Amino acid sequence: MGNFKTEFATSKIETHGPHKAFEDIKRVDENGIEFWTGRELFPLFGYSTWQAFEEVIGRAANAALQSGQVVNNHFSQLTKMVDVGSGGVRAVKDWKLDRYACYLIAQNGNPKIPQIALAQTYFAVQTRKQEIFEALSDAEKRLFIRGEVSSENKKLFRTAKQAGVSHFGLFNDAGYKGLYGAPLAEVEKKKGIQKGELLDRAGSTELAANLFRITQTDEKLRKDRVRSDYEARRTHFMVGGKVRQTIKDIGGELPERLPPEKHIKEVRKEVRELSKQSRATIPLRKKSEKSKKK
């Protein structure tokens, strides 16, 4: 899921050109885990047949097993129904593949295929970004997710515009009504925060719920080829409601009950200051070590 937008981690990596194709088919499941499906992925790896690509999936899964991983955590079999013409359908096998699985598939692909090198680069970068994210402090994770929300929101609004949305305030509020069970203004009042501050005062858990709402709405608008303002709002409300129900099903705290946190601008400033202090102590430490050696 993402682009870094903070000074503490790494510079933002824009996804454009060939890499954008991997982003376009990326999905996020109910647990917030990014994944790709094998049937959508294999043409981007340069394979002309599903059978050949599935052999690579097998080698990648074996590599995961040999490295001590639980294979099913990364490679999950799916069954999907496909149209075979004349109103008929049949079941075909597919795979749900997380970022690590895709990385292994790229590493086990045919190096003579030009697209393999591209896939190796893309998923190596994605894997490295995840490693960095897991090493971040709580404040840094909040900054990271907030950046993701901003980025994905821009993408959603572009999709919404193509879907025929002209009243973006109503469209935006529909998503909040679905997720929070109330209009944005009521949520802000209940939390005791200023207008327009909801996402900037949200903690990591609340931001993650909004990120899932945004990405899944974007995908459904495109997948269902929505072409009216009303249908787009209805879709946004429905997706927000689904995310809300998922939170209920797993016993999580509903987002409107989560307390507001320090404004993201303050967090960003604090992290920047800590980063400066950290860099400033490194030369002093080295100088001190040299003095001891003398």
pLDDT in tens, 173-208: 999 999 999 999 999 999 999 999 999 999 999 999
| Domain co-membership, 91 together with 124 | yes
* pLDDT interval class at 123 (50, 70, 90): confident
Domain that holds residue 167: 138-271
Cα atoms found within 13 Å of the Cα of residue 56, Cβ hemisphere only: 27
Q: How far is CA 6 from CA 9, 155, 157, in A?
A: 6, 19, 23
pLDDT tens for residues 31-64? 778 899 999 999 999 998 999 999 999 999 999 8
- Provide the number of structural domains found in the chain: 2
Residue 41 CB contacts under 8 Å (≥ 6 apart), including other chains: 25, 53, 97, 102, 105
Q: How far apart (Å, rounded) are the C-alpha atoms in residues 212 and 2?
A: 12
| Domain co-membership, 263 together with 204 | yes
- Which of 134, 166, 189 lies at the terminal end of a domain, its last residue? 134
3 occurs within a structural domain: no
- Which of 134, 156, 190 lies at the terminal end of a domain, its last residue? 134
- Sheet (strand 88-98) strand order: 27-28, 34-37, 88-98, 75-85
| Domain co-membership, 100 together with 203 | no
| Domain co-membership, 187 together with 223 | yes
- Residue 37: in which H helix or E strand, if any? strand 34-37
DSSP state of 72: G
pLDDT tens for residues 68-103? 888 998 999 998 877 777 777 888 899 999 988 999
User: To the nearest whole percent, how much of the chain has pLDDT over 70?
Assistant: 83
- Which of 85, 113, 134 lies at the terminal end of a domain, its last residue? 134
| Domain co-membership, 87 together with 106 | yes
94 occurs within a structural domain: yes
| Domain co-membership, 167 together with 91 | no
| Domain co-membership, 70 together with 106 | yes
